[in-house]
Chain A
Amino acid sequence: MKANKLFIAPAIACLAASLAAGTVQAKEVVVRIGHAGPLSGPAAAFGKDGENGARLAIEDANAKKLQIGGDTVKFELVSEDDQADPRTATTVAQRLTDAGVKGVVGHVTSGASVPAARIYENAGIPMITPSSTSPKLTQQGYKMTFRVIANDLQQGNALGKYAVEQLKATRIAVIDDRTAYGQGLADAFANAVKAAGGQVVGREFTNDKATDFMAILTKVRAANPDVVFYGGMDAQSGPLTRQMKQLGLTAKFLTGDGGCTGEMIKMAGDALSATTYCTQAGIPLDKMPGGAAFRTEFKQRYGSDIHVYAPYSYDATMALIEAMKVANSVEPAKYQPALKALNAQGVTGPLAFDQSGDIKGGAITVYNFSGGRWAPLQTLQ
């Protein structure tokens, strides 16, 4: 019985495919696009989000029955799990190149993107990361590495200026979690604060598994800051704000995109107030050119809300496809120049890359906690 079923299923699929093909005149070619990110492990939610965004873009593109190089192109997503681990990432990158993908959306985390970039570079396959924000990624001088989100340096700079100029802070304490993300962001922030004339009155450190921040916060409290900045993720910034409150430390709290999540609201509970700020690279979804429509479409397709990076992953995929359209070829060597010179409109804003492959004029938006959610305050360019 089972054997029969197994046999019938492909037969039906074949039949369906041939019927579908019959209605189209041109030859149909399948073009594979890779997605790589953590689909298991602690960062799995980010990877899944990215994958969903890329899949949506591919479905949208397929619906348009694009003609590239005279053929009707059918895109296919090959998704791989890199567990946010540098070593696994290289294996996964190899597997994607084995699968003959023409472009890669990913990786999601910086620790994975940096070593994987070398493999794509050698294989001559463009990769566009939707979410790795380490400045290092695009400083490797690779031709095939692109990014559609503002990097930590840009984000840290914008934040530092914002703290001094808009929040009128003069005494600022900086804490980070000693991860590539947290440290990179905090260092950029501290430098920008100094450049804008602010004073860094405390520089403290914790780690991404810590729960007890009382000792460093006591030290920070003694320095009497107006703003406390934290470079790190929501699982720490939540308890951190609680412990600030517990110590009677009333300074404003500012953190990057790692703390700009629903998880942070859950973890911090009643320690949040209107003087808790966070930022996200990009402009608020509702202000994005196609944001509202994207949100509805995403919700319809997956029945869940966007986590963070899905729009960027959607745009990264669209950038690849757009470049293929412009170059009228799906071959990486042919469309890479078109990608470099791309000038398109994505749901997160204009898509154009600078010399190193970073997005041009990546926007940063500051949010504060109000009415039980993160409310956009101001978009910095």
Chain B
Amino acid sequence: MTSTSTTLPRPPGFSLDLRLQQPLLIVLAAAAPLVALAFGASWVRVLDFALLYVLLAIGLNLVVGFAGLLDLGYIAFYAVGAYTWAFLASPHFGIHLPFWIVLPLGAAFAALAGIMLGFPTLRLRGDYLAIVTLGFGEIIRIFMNNLNQPINITNGPQGIDMIDPLTIAGIDLSRNLDLFGMQVPSLVLYYYAFLGAVVLALVLVRRLQISRVGRAWAAIREDELAAKAIGIDTRMMKLLAFALGATFGGVSGGLFAAFQGFVSPESFSLMESIVVLTMIVLGGMGNLAGVVFGAIVLTALPELLRHFAVPLQVALFGKTLLDPEVLRMLLLSLAMILMMLWRPAGLLPARTRYAHREGRKA
């Protein structure tokens, strides 16, 4: 803990061999659904969900990884985005607005929720903040679950169904597209739409990270007092982190609602917040590549366990000792503990090494 590095802050991310990596990644990302399709459409669906989680993880990383604020209620913003879409594009209120209105609105509401949460809580100590955000997440979920009376707003625990699919430029992504006599499955269409959103998010966040704002966040994360002393408006910067992080959550939530066609409060439990947190812990807080990696691995994990862990157990012991759900929980919690104990920077750590303050009140 005393290894005090004095390397100058250098923006983390896909650095140095960027020229070589980038084309490779682009090809990989573009070809992924087609490869997955060969193994069955369900794998494409897993990829689609993985991209939504990548978006969530990028947003949470902004708050936790960049600004160092532990948010345990992040899924609330996802819920706000999803419900905004459900309200404004479903038969529930009989409103059917197009995505270019609904999605930005959802993002804006989520950002607003982020500010509402951030405003009163940002002067709290780190761990108090964690538990207040946890409470906030639960409060949002409980309200969603109960606001069907006295006036029916959210339709309560029954959720909202028949939600409009994503329609871009007249193309309904929930139908297979006939492209010059070739059928492009709906899931692949969604994949590219989500991929577009993720790429956009990555570009934005990378720009942000190397901007003044990004450096201010890093300063706050490493030493808030010092940051204040050099003239950073820490409150404003933290609020900005909360609002921007929430925005990504809102977008992801809106896309989720359109993709799934159904939202209900049970999709926004505390466990989901924890899962997203684990994604960035596993991949490497503060490092975009790591965060993307963590999100993909953990979304695919249940599927992989289902395919490999169960047959393996049957082969070894003749029966399934631990079902995939239990294994997943076990691996998630172990990942959190072991990563913090042995690799606190994650599997793909951020390249930048900041001076670590000695002492526990960093």
- Evaluate contact between B45 and A40: CB separation under 8 angstroms: no
| A136 within 8 Å of B (CB atoms) | yes
Stretch of B23-31, B103-111, B323-331 on the interface side? B323-331
In the complex, A81 has a CB within 8 A of chain B: yes
Question: Which of B42, B46, B158 is A180 in contact with, Cβ under 8 Å?
Answer: B158
- Does A132 sit at the interface, judged by CB under 8 A? no
B161 near A136: Cβ-Cβ < 8 Å: yes
Cβ B156 vs Cβ A178 within 8 A: yes
Q: Does A114 contact B (CB under 8 A)?
A: yes
B135 to chain A, nearest CB (A): 16
A168: interface (CB < 8 Å): no
User: At the interface, yes or no: B12 with Cβ under 8 Å from chain A?
Assistant: no
- A138 vs B8: C-alpha distance in the bound complex, in angstroms? 62
- B residues near A118, Cβ cutoff 8 Å: 261-262
Q: Are B159 and A114 in contact (CB under 8 A)?
A: yes
Find out whether the CB atom of A184 lies under 8 angstroms from the CB atom of B158.
Answer: yes
Q: Which residues of A contact B187 (CB under 8 A)?
A: 94
The A90-108 residues at the B interface (CB cut-off 8 A) are 90-92, 94-95, 97-99
Partner of A87, one of B40, B186, B267: B267
Considering the complex, which residues of chain B in the window 118-158 have a beta carbon less than 8 Å from any beta carbon of chain A? 145-146, 148, 156-158
Residue on B with the closest CB to A123? B41
Out of B46, B158, B264, B324, name the residue touching A91 (CB < 8 Å).
Answer: B46
Indicate if A131 sits at the interface (CB-CB under 8 A).
no
A180 touching B267 in the complex, CB below 8 Å, given contacts A88-B302, A114-B159, A136-B158: no
Please, how many angstroms separate the alpha-carbon atoms of A261 and B157 in the complex? 23
CB <8 Å contact, A180 and B41 = no
Chain A residue nearest to B156 (CB atoms) is: A183
Q: A81 to B326, alpha carbons, bound, how many Å?
A: 13
Whether A97 pairs with B41 at a CB distance below 8 angstroms is: yes
Cross-chain contact A41 with B40 (CB below 8 angstroms): no
Majority-rule SS of B interface residues: helix
Residues of B within 8 A of A178 (CB): 145-146, 156-157
Bound-complex Cα distance A97 to B187 (A): 13
B167 at the interface (CB under 8 A from A): no
The answer for the CA separation of A40 and B303 in the assembled complex, in Å, is: 13
The reply to whether A86 and B267 contact each other, CB–CB distance below 8 Å, is yes
Q: Using Cβ atoms and an 8 Å threshold, which residues of chain B touch A92? A: 42
| Smallest beta-carbon distance B23→chain A, Å | 31
Judge if B84 is at the interface, Cβ distance under 8 Å.
no
Q: Which chain A residues border B267 with CB–CB below 8 Å?
A: 86-87
Q: Chain B residues near A115: list those with CB within 8 A.
A: 161, 260-262
Q: Which of B42, B158, B162 contacts A183 (CB 8 A)?
A: B158
Task: Decide: A94 near B42, CB < 8 A? Known: A140-B162, A180-B158.
Answer: yes
Which residue of chain B is the closest to A99 with respect to CB atoms? B40
Chain B residues with CB under 8 Å of A40's CB are 323-326
Question: Which of chain A's residues have a CB closer than 8 A to the CB of B303?
Answer: 91
The verdict on B266 contacting chain A, using a C-beta distance below 8 Å, is: yes
Contacting residues, chain A, for B278 (C-beta < 8 A): none
Q: 27 pairs across A/B with beta carbons < 8 Å?
A: A39-B323, A41-B323, A44-B323, A81-B323, A91-B45, A91-B46, A92-B42, A94-B44, A94-B45, A95-B40, A97-B41, A98-B40, A98-B41, A99-B40, A111-B264, A114-B159, A115-B261, A115-B262, A118-B262, A136-B158, A140-B162, A179-B266, A180-B157, A182-B157, A183-B148, A183-B156, A205-B146
Give me 11 other A-B pairs in contact (C-beta within 8 A), A86-B262, A86-B264, A114-B262 excluded: A39-B323, A40-B324, A83-B325, A87-B267, A94-B40, A95-B42, A114-B161, A115-B161, A122-B175, A140-B162, A184-B158
Ranked 4 nearest A-B pairs via Cβ:
A40-B323, A98-B40, A95-B42, A94-B42
